[in-house]
Amino acid sequence: MIRTRISVLGSLFALSSAAWAQTSPDEAVHLRVLPGWVQEDGTQMAAIDLQLAQGWKTYWRVPGDAGIPPRFSWRGARNVEWVKVHWPTPSVFWQSGMRSVGYENRVVLPLTVSRKRPGKDSRLKGSIDIGVCSDICVPVTLHVDTVLPAANAGRDATIAASLAALPYTRAEAGVRAVACSLEPTTEGMQITATLTMPSSGGSEEAVIEPPAAGVWVSDAQTKRQGDRLTITAEMVSYTDDPIFVDRSSLGIMVIGDSYAVEITGCAE
């Protein structure tokens, strides 16, 4: 694979608007930083705006077997305590019998940025490793270096629209119960999650997030009977270490034609 290194050098002046920067030789992806606004709690709501060339896509945080997982590093940031990435509802793609989960055309990833010194400008500097795929997949490193002004600005409609596209919470989706059972298999462990919830529309897809680094989770199979959705997947360790599943923090995503829902935690 060709590994392309890209630099997005944000100006060290207050950004009244964010300019597009070319981020790969074949123009598969363009990136800009939206500086956003200061929230009531003092954090900054900013965003990474990725524009993809026609026919290209990039991936959600759990990309599936056919995708490349994104990685964020904010090493070099100044006056930044932490950064939280928010993920709008992704789509499910099938290619050559393999499933991937991600975005095509454009995706805006909202960022909540906490400042160490409220009221002072922050320098958002770091790197983002993503995969961009068409007929081939190319790993790309994006370098971000820009100033987030502490002076408050109006709400950015682009960021607000992306926040509105986040998956529903368990309460918003009317999920009444979530139960998980685990059974050993020849290669690892089978997990079965049973959700009591209304249909999210159409042929529902599900993603169970790996419970730890070094654990692979197969594409989940779903079966609905009335208001009960059963999700089954297999977990396999890349090492000889046993698989430990903390049911209270296990992540489950259900993606339907009407909406998606993110669930954290399930009972035995």
Taking only the tens place, the pLDDT of each residue in 196-216 is 999 999 999 999 999 988 899
In this structure, the number of other CB atoms found within 10 A of the CB of residue 132 comes to 24
Question: Over the stretch 74-85, which tens digit does the pLDDT of each residue have?
Answer: 999 999 999 999
The residue to which tokens 């993503």 are assigned: 130
The residue to which tokens 């789509």 are assigned: 91
Alpha-helix runs per DSSP H in 156-231: 157-164
- The CA distance from 143 to 9, in Å, is 7
- The CA distance from 241 to 225, in Å, is 36
Question: Over the stretch 12-27, which tens digit does the pLDDT of each residue have?
Answer: 222 333 333 434 435 7
pLDDT of residue 13: 27
The residue to which tokens 């986040």 are assigned: 166
Give the bridge partners for 32, in sequence order.
49
- Provide the token pair at 10: 């944000």
- The CA distance from 234 to 184, in Å, is 9
> Which residue would you say has higher pLDDT here, 7 or 145?
145
Question: Over the stretch 157-210, which tens digit does the pLDDT of each residue have?
Answer: 999 999 999 999 999 999 999 999 999 999 999 999 999 999 999 999 999 999
> Which residue would you say has higher pLDDT here, 117 or 16?
117
Residue 113 in this model has a pLDDT that exceeds 70: yes
* Backbone phi, psi, residue 232, to 5°: -130, 135
List C-alpha distances in Å: 2 to 39, 67, 109, 137, 141: 40, 16, 25, 9, 11
- The CA distance from 77 to 142, in Å, is 15
The residue to which tokens 């499910």 are assigned: 92
Burial of residue 247, with CB atoms counted within 10 A of its CB: 0-12 exposed, 13-18 middle, 19 or more buried:
middle
- Provide the token pair at 72: 């964020």
List C-alpha distances in Å: 163 to 47, 69, 183, 247, 250: 10, 21, 37, 27, 23
Domains defined for the chain, CATH in brackets: 4-164 (2.60.40.1250), 177-264 (2.60.40)
pLDDT of residue 9: 29
pLDDT of residue 136: 79
